[in-house]
Chains A and B, each alone.
Chain A
Amino acid sequence: MAFKHTYFYAVFWQRIKRNRLAMSGAIVVAALFLISLLAPVVAPYDPNSINAWSVLAPPSWQHWLGTDELGRDVLSRIIFGARISLKVGFVAVGIAVSIGTVVGLVSGYYSGLVDATLMRFVDIMLCFPAFFLILAVITIREPSIWNIMIVIGLTGWMGVARLVRAETLSIREMDYILAARCIGCSDARIIFRHILPNAMSPVLVSASLGVAGAILTESALSFLGIGVLPPTPSWGNILTSGKDYIEFAWWLSLFPGLSILITVLAYNLLGEGIRDALDPRVKR
Chain B
Amino acid sequence: MTMYLVKRILMLIPLMLGITLITFSVIHLAPGEPVEMQMAMNPKVGKDARERLRKFYGLDKPLHEQYLGWVGKLARLDLGRSFSPDNRPVVDKIKERLPVTLSLNIIALLLEFGLAIPIGILAATHRDTLLDKGITVFVFIGFAVPTFWLALLLMYFFGVKLNWLPISGLHTLGSDGYGTVRYLWDLAKHLIMPVMVASFGSLAGLSRYMRSTMLNVIGQDYITTARAKGLSERTVIYKHALRNALLPLITLLGFSIPGLIGGSVIFETIFSIPGMGQLFYQGAMSRDYPVVMGILVIGAGLTLIGNLIADVSYALADPRIRQGG
Contact = CB atoms under 8 A, between A and B. Distances in A.
Nearest to B301: A127
B26 A133 contact: yes
A253 interface: yes
Nearest to B307: A127
A70 interface: no
Interface string B249-271: 00000000011011101100110
Given A130-B258, A132-B295, A140 B32 contact: yes
Interface in B1-50: 14-15, 18-19, 22, 26-27, 30-32
B82 interface: no
Given A120-B14, A121-B18, A137 B30 contact: yes
A56 B31 CA distance: 40
B152 interface: yes
A151 to B, nearest CB: 10
Interface stretch (A43-51, A103-111, A264-272): A264-272
Given A136-B292, A140-B27, A220 B152 contact: no
Interface in B152-167: 152-153, 155-156, 160
Contact of A128 (B155, B281, B285, B300): B300
A136 B156 contact: no
A126 B299 CA distance: 11
A246 B160 contact: yes
B140 interface: yes
Contact of B263 (A131, A253, A257): A131
Contacts of B259: 129
A42 interface: no
B280 A132 contact: yes
A239 B149 contact: yes
Given A139-B285, A140-B30, A247-B160, A128 B144 contact: no
A219 interface: yes
B149 A128 contact: no
A136 B19 contact: no
Q: Which of A136, A137, A226 has the most CB of B within 10 A?
A: A136
B283 to A, nearest CB: 9
A138 B99 CA distance: 27
Given A132-B295, A141-B30, A264 B144 contact: yes
Contacts of B153: 253-254, 257
A250 interface: yes
A187 interface: no
B157 to A, nearest CB: 10
Determine the main DSSP class of B at the interface with A: helix
Given A127-B258, A128-B19, A216-B146, A136 B303 contact: no
B144 A261 contact: yes
A280 B147 CA distance: 35
A135 interface: yes
Interface in A137-170: 137, 139-141
Nearest to B167: A246
Interface string A231-258: 0000000010011001100100110110
A265 B140 CA distance: 7
A117 to B, nearest CB: 10
Contacts of A127: 15, 19, 258, 300-301, 303-304, 307
A246 B258 contact: no
Contacts of A133: 26, 296
Interface in B136-190: 140-141, 143-149, 152-153, 155-156, 160
Interface string B277-292: 0001100110100001
Interface string B295-321: 110011101100100000000000000
Interface residues of A, number: 43
A283 to B, nearest CB: 12
Contacts of A224: 265-266, 269, 281
Contact of B284 (A128, A135, A262): A135
B149 A253 contact: yes
Contacts of A130: 258, 262
A93 to B, nearest CB: 16
Q: Which of B148, B262, B307 has the most CB of A within 10 A?
A: B148
Contacts of B148: 219-220, 223, 239
Contact of A269 (B14, B140, B281): B140
B15 A120 contact: yes
A239 B152 contact: yes
B88 to A, nearest CB: 20
Contacts of A262: 144
Given A128-B303, A140-B27, 10 more contacts: A124-B18, A124-B22, A129-B261, A129-B263, A135-B265, A220-B146, A246-B160, A257-B152, A265-B141, A269-B140
Interface of B: 14-15, 18-19, 22, 26-27, 30-32, 140-141, 143-149, 152-153, 155-156, 160, 258-259, 261-263, 265-266, 269-270, 280-281, 284-285, 287, 292, 295-296, 299-301, 303-304, 307
26 contacts: A121-B18, A124-B300, A126-B258, A128-B258, A129-B263, A130-B258, A131-B263, A133-B26, A135-B280, A139-B285, A140-B284, A141-B32, A212-B143, A220-B146, A220-B148, A239-B149, A243-B270, A246-B160, A250-B156, A253-B152, A253-B153, A260-B149, A264-B146, A265-B140, A268-B143, A269-B140
The 10 A-B residue pairs whose C-beta atoms are closest, nearest first, are A129-B262, A257-B149, A131-B262, A264-B144, A124-B18, A139-B284, A265-B144, A127-B300, A129-B258, A140-B30
